[in-house]
Amino acid sequence: MHSLKLGHFAANTELYLCEMEAGINKPKGRYFDVFFYGFPVVCNQQLAIMWKRVLRIWPRWILEPVFRVNSFIPGGAMHEIGSNTQADRDVHNLLDRFPLHLQFTADEEQLGEAALRAMGIPLGESFVCLNVRDSAYHQDDNDNYRDSDIQKYVLAAEELAGRGFFVIRMGSKVHSPIRSNHPKVIEYATSGMRSDFMDIYLGATCAFCISVGSGFDAVPLIFRRPIAYVNMVPAAYLFTFSPLFLGLFKHHVDMASNRELSLADIFASEAGFCLRTSDYRAKGVNLLENTPEEIRDLVVEMAERLNGTWQTQPGDEALQQRFWEVFPSEGRNNNGKLHGEIRARYGTLFLRQHPEWLQ
């Protein structure tokens, strides 16, 4: 099992179960599957407990030697489960087709509700998880293109708080707390309240999640919660598999001219597929974060779509259609296609305000 990083531990495993139900990558003969954790360290103990309820997970010291011996046997690969069609990417749109596979016990529900009350969130109140990755998570200069500044999310968090939501800043490794005086904006990551159990419980029960497209958001994903992706890069990897998703890319700016690249330019230059900071530099592209106002607009759209107050304007669908005509929905990486049926939406207010970006 991909047990070292939360995103893969959650999403890869859930998609394996969905593929089994769909008859995808399923052996034709008689079989039973057993698993072991791929690393000595398991990233989240609560998720490990919950996976053990639905999968045969055996001790690593038993299965890893068997796994290694099998790899030397001619034809042994047929006995390996291998990966899903595309790892943690739902290219068959299975999460919309099949019910979730994990459930909390009655005792866990009580534990989660008590923890929410201890955080100051009354029973029945809606809350949003805010997941913003910074360089404390992965101290690699060639991977920092995905990082973001938590303070640029204060405007969005306080807007949601003003609309009645509690906003919980998530994270296990972060540099600094979110700076807000609003009583409904809760700093969970650095306050001492964080636990493996609550990471899963919060992600599973939130009204929606705001995320930059990193590990934690796989938890709301596998529990079928809506997700607003902001500052999403690489652009071609935008999560598109569900109507529960909204998205915004980081701004791509040409270093030489200081001109923002259009949507077509991003993909014509293949900057939309870059997976390392050095790749963007090589293409002469600088990434700029979404503004606080752009982030606020996207989360307001999500909140209003969920409560049924979102107002569509004439031209909105034409802008969406144009975006998805340019977006490489058939785009592929070295391991296969990145998208199935496109069901997500790009930020409506951003497209209204920047129609020239689609030209």
For the chain, what are the domain ranges? 6-79, 106-358
Question: What band does 15 get if pLDDT is binned at 50, 70 and 90?
Answer: very high
In whole angstroms, give the CA distance from residue 189 to residue 134.
12
* pLDDT (mean) for 178-197: 96
Model-level pTM?
A: 0.95
**β-pair type (251-254, 285-288):** antiparallel
- For residue 211, the cross-strand partners are 131, 229
> Encoding tokens for residue 184?
């409904």
pLDDT tops 80 at residue 141: no
Question: What band does 319 get if pLDDT is binned at 50, 70 and 90?
Answer: very high
Q: What is the pLDDT of residue 153?
A: 98
Q: How many CB atoms lie within 10 A of CB 244?
A: 23
- Class of CATH domain 106-358: alpha beta
Question: What band does 134 get if pLDDT is binned at 50, 70 and 90?
Answer: confident
Q: Which residues contact 292 (CB under 8 A, 6 or more apart)?
A: 152, 153, 154, 155, 156
- Rounded to whole angstroms, what are the CA distances from 203 to 2, 212, 219, 227, 259? 19, 14, 5, 10, 38
Could you check whether the bond before residue 234 is cis, i.e. omega within 30 degrees of 0?
yes
One-letter identity of residue 17: L
* pLDDT (mean) for 313-334: 90
Question: What band does 334 get if pLDDT is binned at 50, 70 and 90?
Answer: low
- pLDDT tens-digit readout, 221-259: 999 999 999 999 999 999 999 999 999 999 999 999 999
Least trusted range by pLDDT, from 12-16, 65-69, 172-176:
172-176
Question: What band does 182 get if pLDDT is binned at 50, 70 and 90?
Answer: very high
* pLDDT (mean) for 84-89: 91
Q: What is the pLDDT of residue 335?
A: 63
Q: What is the pLDDT of residue 139?
A: 67
Question: What band does 143 get if pLDDT is binned at 50, 70 and 90?
Answer: confident
Question: What band does 283 get if pLDDT is binned at 50, 70 and 90?
Answer: very high
* pLDDT (mean) for 282-289: 97
Q: What percent of the chain has pLDDT over 90?
A: 87
* pLDDT (mean) for 127-142: 84
Q: What is the pLDDT of residue 161?
A: 98
Q: What is the pLDDT of residue 295?
A: 98
In whole angstroms, give the CA distance from residue 26 to residue 7.
23
> Encoding tokens for residue 174?
């972060």
- The rounded mean pLDDT for the chain is 94
Q: What is the pLDDT of residue 329?
A: 87
Q: What percent of the chain has pLDDT over 70?
A: 97
Q: What is the pLDDT of residue 28?
A: 87
